[in-house]
Amino acid sequence: MNALRTAEVIAVGSELLGWTRLDTNSLFIADQLSRLGIELRAKAVVGDDRGRIQAMFTRALERADLVILTGGLGPTDDDLTREAIAGALGLELEEHEEITERIRRRFERRGAQMPEVNRRQAMVPRGAQWIPNANGSAPGLRLEVDGRLVVLLPGPPRELQPMLLDLCAPGGVIAEGAGAERLHRVSLFTTGLAESQVEALVQPIYSLWRTEEEPIETTILASPGQVELHLTLRGPDEAHARARLARALAALQAALGNAAYSTDGRRLPEVVLASLRARGHTIAAAESCTGGMLLERLTSIPGSSATVIGGVVAYSNDLKVDWLGVATAAIEAHGAVSEVVGAAMAEGIRARTGADVGVAITGIAGPDGGTAAKPVGTVVIAVSIAGQPLMVGTHLFAGDRDMVRVQATQAALNRVRLALQA
Amino acid sequence: MNALRTAEVIAVGSELLGWTRLDTNSLFIADQLSRLGIELRAKAVVGDDRGRIQAMFTRALERADLVILTGGLGPTDDDLTREAIAGALGLELEEHEEITERIRRRFERRGAQMPEVNRRQAMVPRGAQWIPNANGSAPGLRLEVDGRLVVLLPGPPRELQPMLLDLCAPGGVIAEGAGAERLHRVSLFTTGLAESQVEALVQPIYSLWRTEEEPIETTILASPGQVELHLTLRGPDEAHARARLARALAALQAALGNAAYSTDGRRLPEVVLASLRARGHTIAAAESCTGGMLLERLTSIPGSSATVIGGVVAYSNDLKVDWLGVATAAIEAHGAVSEVVGAAMAEGIRARTGADVGVAITGIAGPDGGTAAKPVGTVVIAVSIAGQPLMVGTHLFAGDRDMVRVQATQAALNRVRLALQA
């Protein structure tokens, strides 16, 4: 077999050509292949049409060392990937008794009889090897064609993912074909800085890496309230690559200071929860414009119930007064979106729940409710921790309602993170 | 020009071949084209490589009446779509002074000078027409090749979308080419039933439509807590098609009864909010395992602050007692996840906030915390409305933590919806 350096992916399924569903398997495949240093050159989606699958496959096989097809391996008439590939390569399809037996037993374990139509899933192009599927009836298939590798995998992610992981693990046919060179990757997440600010701080550093003999590639990805740096380095020596990437990360962290919060892939809620846990602290939140999003993000993490007491969504002013002890006079004098009220909310939620940390968000998410003095996107964030000075600040976030809310929760989590370091 | 019946889409950009980003423009394009009755036959993603763009484009043009390329129209060296298409068609690129002027003025309006490199965006293959871009410097391009239509659009969605809408609106070149036949679409959303239950109820109905002269196609899409039916009908007579689809929807609604909650694309939080608003009711929520997700979903809708008072995320038992008035004895006797406690939470949040409707969720989202009697996925939901009997019920949801939480919020919204109808 050729060394596997380049790959193409073809997702089969008419449902993936509509306006509701994307092929997400290709992200998982790109991730796994990139770790092995295999470059994904193109990807395509084609409907359940034998001729079109065949044409797309034939072209891909002319260009890439590895072609992966996903989907179209079910038992029904519109599952045509097996037939298309056999047709394109001029191979006969043969039933493998061993596969039929496995499918039959699978049905029997559930107290059912195998429908005759499922025999189609046991059809294998002559010379191909089949790949066991622990989570479904359709086996995968793999075959070598003029030194190139063709892999067929079922479409459902929970079936495809473990099968691909096996093929890409040491000893697996894709890992062995990929050779010694690997793509080594690290990431660094920041919050509190705009993409252009991050770029200005790190560009002078990473631009030097590009011209080295084994260049480090840097990609910047921005989403609301977060800017991520992804570093990749191609090379055969893992220890050497890891050491270089660690030095590169350290240089970026030095430049970014406190804005850098994670180099191990953990997101902000996880980092904040771990930091609270390490101090034995509990947390409670009082939210207005974010309407529960901050608490939802914190409690999305398994095991958070030991650290997150809960909190109040005080959307109305009455609730801010009755439940958090905010003074009506403060709301009247300064407005519900003010540092005075935000501070009172953070102190109120901490005092009334007995939490070690109280965090509050009050703001104007839009699209309505803005004024000249407090435009849409104005958000006050306050953090109250026993024995520490109260932290409160006003932000102005850009974007639509959802973007303002996401940025507000990021900023609140970040203020808690920084307050815990103080 | 040929009638436009089939299309292919090619997204250009190496960043779309990694493990972090999907091409989402193709969903928007598929949506717009399908309304015009144009079938999207295939889509592809290719990196910033002139030869590969060219090869991919050449094949697509052999197969489809309409080829849309997105991305690669920026001013830098790795923006290669213009060059690739001109190369594939053997056309010269010429600078259009009118475009250069527009870009220059765009920069001047922001008090900046146009960088020389932006002249590349004024380069047009001979014979092509350019498409103004209101939200960016890159114009789109369109040209006819042997009766087929080629359209180049910039990659950023906020630039691409209005440009494509123009092309697909009456008088636009895609709409005019598509001819009189349109794809008419309606949808129906259900909740509270599993996909197999929905299928069993509606399959006998929609299977008859398939064999009619102008068949109605039915697609079923399932996500946690929601099953959607999408109906499409191809035909030249809009009024006739709309009337048939309305009859079809009515037949499905009759079969699905109360499980059908929307035929206008509105999701459950919007439908529930509208129903509350129509009755002049306010709502408050007490959440345990969903940790704020229910309130977050309700408040994600603009204008919700008039109806949603707020609520409590009572993750700890202390908060259930102190803030909601749940009796400690009830928690000790029945457990925090019990109908007794759920009912007390719903009544407590309503009484203490003065809301017209109180809704409560308490359950075990997992992955830990399950027992033999109350496995992971057990969720109690209660709804309290003044002057109505309290509604409370226990659900068992499958899936991971996030899936359990999403299903729990769907079920809670649905119980509110049904209680308001009572």
Q: What is the pLDDT of residues A395-421, one digit of tens each?
A: 999 989 999 999 999 999 999 999 999
Among residues B359, B402, B392, the alpha carbon closest in space to that of B273 is found at: B359
Average pLDDT value for residue range A354-369: 96
Question: By the CB < 8 Å criterion, does B405 face chain A?
Answer: yes
Q: Do A309 and B300 touch (CB under 8 A)?
A: no
Buried/exposed code over B266-287 (b: 16+ C-beta within 10 A; e: otherwise): ebbbbbbbebbeeeebbbbbbb
Residues with Cβ < 8 Å from B271, sequence gap 6 or more? B261, B262, B417
What's the pLDDT at B266? 97
Among residues B216, B229, B233, the alpha carbon closest in space to that of B259 is found at: B229
Written as six digits, the tokens of A376 are 């849409």
- Which tens digit of pLDDT belongs to each residue from A268-285? 999 999 999 999 999 999
**Is the pLDDT score of A334 beyond 90?**
yes
Average pLDDT value for residue range A318-323: 94
Q: Do B368 and A298 touch (CB under 8 A)?
A: no
Please name the residue of chain A whose CA is at the shortest distance from the CA of residue B403.
A300
Q: Quote the CA–CA distance of A17 and A34 in Å, as a whole number.
A: 26
Confidence at A2, pLDDT banded by 50, 70, 90: confident
Which residues of chain A from 199 to 228 reach within 8 Å of chain B, CB to CB?
219, 221
**Is the pLDDT score of A110 beyond 90?**
no
Nearest CA to CA, how far is A365 from chain B (Å)? 9
| Contact present, A77 and A14 (Cβ < 8 Å) | no
What's the pLDDT at B370? 93
- Which tens digit of pLDDT belongs to each residue from A141-188? 999 999 999 999 999 999 999 999 999 999 999 999 997 888 999 999
Indicate the residue of B309, B318, B322 with minimum beta-carbon distance to A315.
Answer: B309
Residues with Cβ < 8 Å from B204, sequence gap 6 or more? none
Q: Do A44 and B43 touch (CB under 8 A)?
A: yes
What's the pLDDT at B181? 85
- Which tens digit of pLDDT belongs to each residue from B325-350? 999 999 999 999 999 999 999 999 99
What's the pLDDT at A77? 84
* Dihedral, B167, B169, B172, B173 alpha carbons, nearest 10: 70
Question: By the CB < 8 Å criterion, does A18 face chain B?
Answer: yes
Which ranges in A310-388 belong to alpha helices (H)? 317-324, 328-334, 339-353
Give B318's contacts in chain A (Cβ within 8 Å). 309, 353-354
DSSP letter at B18? S
- Please give the distance of CA B263 from its chain centroid, rounded to a whole number: 15
Q: Do A291 and B299 touch (CB under 8 A)?
A: yes
Phi/psi at A78 (5° precision): -95, 15
Which residues of chain A from 228 to 257 reach within 8 Å of chain B, CB to CB?
230
Confidence at A33, pLDDT banded by 50, 70, 90: very high
Written as six digits, the tokens of B52 are 């590969």
Q: Is B332 exposed, middle or buried (0-12, 13-18, 19+ CB in 10 A)?
A: exposed
What's the pLDDT at A414? 98
Q: Do A299 and B313 touch (CB under 8 A)?
A: yes
- What are the residues facing A150 on neighbouring strands? A67, A143
Q: Quote the CA–CA distance of B392 and B342 in Å, as a whole number.
A: 7
| pTM listed for this prediction | 0.90
Average pLDDT value for residue range A382-395: 96
The ranges of chain B with pLDDT < 50 are none
Confidence at A20, pLDDT banded by 50, 70, 90: confident
**Is the pLDDT score of A422 beyond 90?**
no
What's the pLDDT at A137? 87
**Is the pLDDT score of A8 beyond 90?**
yes
Q: Quote the CA–CA distance of A10 and B140 in Å, as a whole number.
A: 28
